[in-house]
A and B are shown apart, each in its own frame.
Chain A
Amino acid sequence: MMSFISYLLNGLSLGSVYAIIALGYTMVYGIAKMLNFAHGDILMVGGYTAFIALNSMGLPIPVAVLVSMAVCTLLGITIEKVAYKPLRQANSLSVLITAIGVSYLLQNLAQLIFSANPKSFSSFVPLKPVKLAGGQLTISGETIVTIVTCIIIVTGLVTFINKTKAGQAMLAVSEDKGAATLMGVDVNGTISMTFAIGSALAAIGGILLCSAYPTLTPTTGAMPGIKAFVAAVLGGIGSIPGAFIGGIILGVLENLAKAYISSKLSDAIVFSVLIIVLLVKPTGILGKKIMEKV
C-alpha cells in the first residue's frame, strides 16, 4: 500500500511537470494553430540557463529561476518573430517543418556550447524529504514543490485568461484572428505574449524536471516535449484544464505502468492509452467537437 502511494505521488509529480509543459503547448496551439515541436527544446534551454546561473554564476535559487524564465521568454518571442510569424499564412506543414528546424537548431547549439556529455543538475528544491507513516513513506521535496507549483500555475492561468483583458484577448485571437483584429485586439502582441508565457512555463518545467531527474543533455527536452504534447492532445488540445488533466493522467499512468506492468513497456502503454482515448473521444477529454458546415 505504501509503495503504491509512493508510486502515485511520483506519478503526480512527473504528471505535474508534463502538465506545466503541456500548458505551453496547448496555449501556443490554441492561438497559433501550430504544433510547436521546439517547445521541448526551450525546456532544455531553461535547464541549462538555470544550471549556469546557479552553478557557474552562483546566483541564489530564486534569481536563477527568474533568469532562466527570462531567457526562455526572450527565446520564445524571438523564435516566433523570426521563424513562425512569416509563415502565418502558409500551410501548416511548412510551419511544422520550421518548428522541427528550430528544434534541431536549439539542440545542436546546446551541443556546441555544452557538449553532448550530461551535466549533473543540482536540485533547485532545498526542502528535506518528508517522512510519513513512521518512516514507511518518504515524499521528496521535489515532489511536493512540483505538485504545488503546478496547481498554482494552473489556477493562475485560468484566472488570468478569464479575468484579465489580456487573457480575454488571447481567447478572442484563438477563436478568430480576423474578428479579433476588427475588435481592436493587438493580434501580434497577443501571440507574442502567448509564446512568452508558454516559454516561461517551459523554463519552470525544465528546472523541475531536472531537479527530479538530475541529468541534463542537449536532448533532455525531446521526450518530455513529446509526452507533454501527448498530454495536451489527450486532454483536448487548446484547453488549459485539458492540458492539466492530460499531464497528470500521463504521469501517473507512466509511473504505475513502470512499477506494476513492465518498465520496458511503459511508453507503449502510455501511447496506447492516448490512442484509445482518441478513438473514443476524437478531440481529447475536454476537446470541443468541430462540425464541418455543408
Chain B
Amino acid sequence: MAALLKVDSLGISFGGLKAVDKFNVEIEKNELYGLIGPNGAGKTTVFNLLTGVYKPTNGQITLDGDNITGLDCEAINKKGIARTFQNIRLFSQLSVLDNVKVGLHNNHAYSTLDGIFRTPKFRKVEKQMDERALELLKVFELEGYCDYKASNLPYGQQRKLEIARALATEPKLLLLDEPAAGMNPNETEELMNTIRLVRDKFDMTILLIEHDMKLVSGICDRLTVLNFGQVLKQGLTQDVLHDPEVIKAYLGD
C-alpha cells in the first residue's frame, strides 16, 4: 500500500537561508506520526509548507496519490489536509459551535441566496450542520460550551476546539502543531487520550509537532527528528528517542 503522505526532498529558503532542506517523510494511513526537534529546527515551517502557507522552493508533496505541491491553503485543505496552529487561531468572536460550523463549510453547502431567503434547503442543511458540529464537540467534551464565544474558552479547551474545527473539514491527514503546549500533566494525559480517540474514531492519520516527550513517546508510532532544517533521524519512536545523535541534538555536547 502506498503511503498517504509522501514528501520528497522538500525545501524552502528565505533570502538565501535554507530553513528546511531535503525533507523526506512517508506517513502510512492511520498512523500517528511525530515531528520533533529543538527550537528553530524548522518544524512549523514544514507544516506551513505542507499546508500551503509557504510555497516550497523545491521538492514534491504527494497526498493519497495527488501531487499537491505549490497549491494554496484553501486548495490543500480541500485536498484533505487540516491543521491546528502553535499560537491558537480560533475565530475569536464566533461561538464555539460556529467555529466548528465554519469547518463544515465546504462539505455542507447551500447558496448565499438560500441563506438570505431562508429556503427549506437552508433549514435542512443548517440542521445537519448543527447536528454534525455537536457530534464533533461531544468528542472533545465541548458540547456544553457550544454557545460560548470562542475567545472566552479556557486555554486547554481552545486547543481542543481547534482540533474539532480541523476535523470538521473531513481531512485525510490532520496536522497538530504543539497540541500540548501550555498544558499541565493532567491536561496532557487527557489530550493523549483524545488524540488516540480521534485516530480510532475517525480513522485519521495524524502528524504532530510536540516538545512534550511523554506525549510523543506515549502515542507516536514513528518519529522524524529535525535539526537545523534537515532530517536528523527517522524511525520507530523508541529507537529514535534512544539514538545518541538525537540526544546530543537536544542536550548539546
Interface residues of A (CB under 8 A from B): 294
Contacts and interface: CB of A to CB of B under 8 A. Distances in A.
A292 to B, nearest CB: 10
Interface of B: 44, 48, 53, 85
4 contacts: A294-B44, A294-B48, A294-B53, A294-B85
Contacts of B53: 294
Nearest to B47: A294
A265 to B, nearest CB: 37
Contacts, number: 4
A51 B48 CA distance: 61
Contacts of B48: 294
A247 B167 CA distance: 52
Nearest to A292: B53
A48 to B, nearest CB: 45
A294 B51 CA distance: 11
Contacts of B85: 294
B166 to A, nearest CB: 15
Nearest to B44: A294
Contacts of A294: 44, 48, 53, 85
A294 B85 CA distance: 8
Q: Top 4 closest A-B pairs, CB basis?
A: A294-B53, A294-B48, A294-B85, A294-B44
Nearest to A293: B87
Contacts of B44: 294
A294 B87 CA distance: 8
B131 to A, nearest CB: 32
A142 B14 CA distance: 50
A155 B234 CA distance: 59
A63 B7 CA distance: 74
A294 B44 CA distance: 8
B138 to A, nearest CB: 30
Nearest to B51: A294
A294 B53 CA distance: 8
B10 to A, nearest CB: 17
A294 B45 CA distance: 9
A294 B73 CA distance: 12
Nearest to B89: A294
B84 to A, nearest CB: 12
A31 to B, nearest CB: 27
A36 to B, nearest CB: 28
A294 B48 CA distance: 8
A32 B53 CA distance: 31
A51 B85 CA distance: 60
A294 B43 CA distance: 12
A294 B47 CA distance: 10
A41 B48 CA distance: 47
A294 B88 CA distance: 10
A241 B44 CA distance: 37
A272 B53 CA distance: 32
